[in-house]
Structure formats: structure tokens, C-alpha cells
Chains A and B, each alone.
Chain A
Amino acid sequence: GENVEQHPSTLSVQEGDSAVIKCTYSDSASNYFPWYKQELGKGPQLIIDIRSNVGEKKDQRIAVTLNKTAKHFSLHITETQPEDSAVYFCAALRGAQKLVFGQGTRLTINP
């Protein structure tokens, strides 16, 4: 079955700097890769996603890259702000229904 590995588990950056979180997946048939942000006491909120027919997608300060050959995808946050502090999860869609999540990255933005 699909396995998603996410690194690092914790990440601390200075406000204004960039943050990068990386994930690898095992099932080459996976074709959809969302990123979710989870704030304390809340459910995961989608922040960006990418489908396997593109290599990069950008939405303001957030971008995701996908390397299908290497089976890895990354989240890039530029010009980080204190409100970016949260836990971030990558996921891969296995089949048509099941999202398989990574272990999560606790991102802390230091003012």
C-alpha cells in the first residue's frame, strides 16, 4: 500500500525567511497530493494541492513542487509570518478515496 514519509518533524525559521517541507511517497499510481495546515484544536485545512500532470503550482507565498520520477513533493512557504505557525501535513491519494498522510511537520515562525 501507499506510504508517505514527511521531513522534518519540526522546523523553526525566522519571520520573513522561507520554509521547506518535503515528502516522499511509495505508490507510483498516486496522482493527487494535497497539503493541509492544522492549527491547534482544529481540523486539517487545505492550503494547496497538486495533481500529477503538473510539476509546480504556486498560490501567493505558497508553492508546491512534484517530482514524479523521484516520487517526492515539497511545500515551500516564502516570507513566513507568525500566523504560518502550525502543523503541516502532506498527503497522497491512494486509489480514488483514501488519503494517506505524512507524519506532520510542526512549523514555528520566530518573530
Chain B
Amino acid sequence: EPEVTQTPSHQVTQMGQEVILRCVPISNHLYFYWYRQILGQKVEFLVSFYNNEISEKSEIFDDQFSVERPDGSNFTLKIRSTKLEDSAMYFCASKSGGATDTQYFGPGTRLTVL
């Protein structure tokens, strides 16, 4: 069964450094997402991406964040200058087409900012 994959599984970085989290969505999917989950809290929407542009973003997704689909398979989340409060699990998700189609989640990247 096709699945969303994410790398790395765990990223440790120093405050102020840039990080790039990588995702390979399911191959025939058209919509891509990033969510985050701070330890012990609910999953929160960050951004959705379709047709090579952001379709929606949350208030969390400020100028420090950017997303890119650099080729036909990868989808990346960049945090330009990490802060302590960026420490969280970051989940990539993808879906095939319609609004109520299922969003399939990857296993997540645990980001630790020291």
C-alpha cells in the first residue's frame, strides 16, 4: 500500500539554524500538507500546497517558514531560523483530489531545537 514517507525521523538543531524537513507524498496525490504536534498537544495545521503554490496557511506559518516542491516527488518544509518553540513533531500529509478525500499522514519528523 502506498504511503507518505518523511526524512529524517529525528532532527536536532541549534536555535537560529535553518532546517529542511523532507517528505515524499503518495505518488498520484495532488494536495500536500504540513501539520505539527507539540508534545502532548493536538495536531495543528500549518500549510496546504496545490499546483505549486500555497493554497492556505495558518497563523503559525509565518515568514520563517516556507514550502517547496523542488521536483516531481519531494515536498519540503524549511524553517529559516529555528526557535525553541519550533520543537515539535512535524507531519506531512497528502491527498489525491476532492475536498473530502482522505489526508494520509507520514510518520513524522521530530524536531528538537536546543
A interface vs B, CB < 8 Å? 31-32, 34, 36, 41-46, 49, 51, 89, 91, 93, 95-104
Contacts and interface: CB of A to CB of B under 8 A. Distances in A.
A97 B31 contact: yes
Nearest to B40: A104
Given A44-B105, A93-B100, A96-B99, A103 B91 contact: no
Contacts, number: 57
Given A45-B105, A89-B43, A98-B48, 8 more contacts: A32-B100, A36-B105, A43-B4, A43-B106, A93-B100, A96-B99, A99-B103, A101-B42
A103 B42 CA distance: 5
Interface string B37-58: 0000111110010100001101
Interface of B: 4, 31, 33, 35, 41-45, 48, 50, 55-56, 58, 91, 99-100, 102-108
B108 A97 contact: no
